[in-house]
Amino acid sequence: MAYRKRSLSRRIVLYVCVLVVLGFVLSPYLLGIVTSFEREAELVGRPPFPFKAISLVLDNYMYILSYEPFSLAFLDSLMVAVLTTCFVMIAGSMGAFAIAHLRFRGRNFLFNFVVVVYMLPALAMLIPIVVLLKELALLDTIVGMMFAHSILLLPLMTWFLIGIYENVPADILEALQMDGTSRIRSLFREVIPLSRFGFFLILVFSFVTSWNDLMFANTVGIVQVKLLQPRILEFMSGARVLYTQMAAAGILSSLPVVALAIVLQKQIIAGIMKGAIK
């Protein structure tokens, strides 16, 4: 990209705008970090933080890190998120490849169908899903939770993957077929390596969605499976809302997803660029 020389005043305006936007985007999170190191009495007493000096304490984090169920919930959420991501990537890739590159009856219908299905609100299906999982003896299990989260993800991820696969030039596939390689083999040998950027998008999106889910985590998980977001909701019990501790728990629970998104942001952009969004 050719570098355009800019006058000083325009550069100042640019940086000011950038800082304002960054302030808007980051301020709640930064304030949350500060809050998590505050004492509750100081948080609630006026004037609030930037207008008075506060003493920073580690108590909130100690509290939370020493509470075993929190760590267990963290690990459970991690496991569910990883499993969900794998399932969605595998099932979605296979289906998307078929829709993108193979010709069969009902292909166009299925393409549209995938999009529409994504619209369906999870709430409407919540109770039947709970009953269904119970009938399959999957209620309150990690696998059951994985299926529940996949409901939120599979249609959209498949849609993204269709777009990604369509970008793989058909000639490569033609060449492979003339060699006698089956379509399925060609999927693994050529298509996936060519579209690896798209996978990062799917990975991050699936992980974040699964990690952040509250509704299914709350109803599908009862005794054996306790996930992280309901744990944070615990802070809003009837008898208390301790913002400082909730902030600490919130920051801790958002670290993995924020880190993942930031570390992989280049790959995500590449994935979108390569045509996941069409």
Partner 1 sequence: MPRLKAESRDAAILLSPFFVFLAVFMIYPLIASFYLTLNDIALSDLKPVFLGIGNYVELFSDKLFQQALLQTLAYLTFHTAVGVPFGLAIALLFNEEFRGRGFARACLLIPWATPPIVAAMLMYILLNAGFGPVIYAFEIAGLLPTQYTIFGNPDLALLGLAIVSLWKSSPLFAFIFLSGLQNLPSEVVESARVYGASSVGIFRRITLPFLKPVLAVNCILSGILALSGTQAFDIVIGITGGGPGYRTYMLYFLAWNQAFPWNRLGYGSTIAYVVTIIAVVFALVLLRIWYRRK
Partner 2 sequence: MTSNISTGKEKNLAEQGTDRRKFLKYGAGVVVVAAAAAAGYYALQPAPAPPTPTTTAATTAATTTAPPPVTTAAPTTINFYTTGHMGFMYDVGRLGWKPVERYMAANPNIKIKTMVDSYFDVYTKESTTFAAGTYAWDVAYTNGILLAEFSVGDYWTPLDELGGVPPEVIDDMVPYARCASSYKGPEGTLYGLPRMYEIFTLMANADILDAKGIKFPTSYEEFLEACEKVNDPKHGVYAFEVGLKQGYLLSPYLCFLHGNGGSLWKNDNMQTVEPDSPESIAAVEDMVYLFKNFMPPSAIEKIAFVEASTDWYNGQMVFGLFYGWPTMVVTDPTAKIKRVYNWLWPGKKKIVRSASQTASESYGVPRTAKYKKEAWDFIQYLSSREVQVQDTLGMFWKQENEEPIPSYWSYMTDDRFKAYPMNIILRAQLAQSKYRASRYDQRPSYGAYAAAIEAEIVNALTEKKKPADAMKDARDACDKILETEYAKYGGGYWDPWTEMQNLGSKIDKLIDAIPVEDQYKFPF
Q: Record the tokens describing residue 199, joined without a space.
A: 């996978």
151 binds, among partner 2, partner 1, none (CB under 5 to 8 A by kind): partner 1
Write down the least CB distance from residue 69 to partner 1, Å: 17
List the structure tokens of 273: 């660029």
The binder of 175, among partner 2, partner 1, none, by C-beta within 5 to 8 A per type, is none
With CB cut-offs between 5 and 8 Å by kind, which of partner 2, partner 1, none does residue 189 bind? Answer: none
* Residue 5 structure tokens: 């020389």
Q: For residue 196, which of 83, 277, 89 has the smallest C-alpha distance?
A: 89
149 binds, among partner 1, partner 2, none (CB under 5 to 8 A by kind): none
Contact of 42 with 55, CB cutoff 8 Å: yes
b/e map of 39-77 (b: 16 or more CB within 10 Å)? ebebbeeeeeeeeeebeeeeebbeebeeeeebeebbebb
Task: Tell me which residues in 235-264 interact with partner 2 (CB under 8 A).
Answer: 235-242, 245
Q: How far is the CB of 258 from partner 2 (least distance, A)?
A: 23
Residues 166-225 that bind partner 2 (CB under 8 A): 166, 169-171, 218-219, 222-223
Please report whether residue 119 would count as binding partner 1 according to CB under 8 A. yes
Token representation of residue 18 = 């950038």
HSE toward the beta carbon, residue 264, CA cutoff 13 A: 22
d(CA 33, CA 29): 6
Residue 40 one-letter amino acid: E
For the segment 22-81, give every residue that binds partner 1 (CB under 8 A).
Answer: 22, 24-29, 31-32, 35, 43-51
Give the interface segment with partner 2, choosing from 88-96, 124-132, 180-188, 257-265 (CB under 8 A): 124-132
List CB contacts of 210: < 8 A, sequence separation 6 or more. 77, 80, 81, 84, 85, 149, 152, 153
Range 150-189, binding partner 1 (CB under 8 A): 150-151, 154-155, 158, 182-184, 187
CB of 229 to partner 2, least distance (A): 11
d(CA 153, CA 41): 42
Pick from 230, 261, 267, 270: which binds partner 2 (CB under 8 A)? 230
Stretch touching partner 1 by CB under 8 A, among 53-61, 63-71, 125-133, 166-174: 125-133
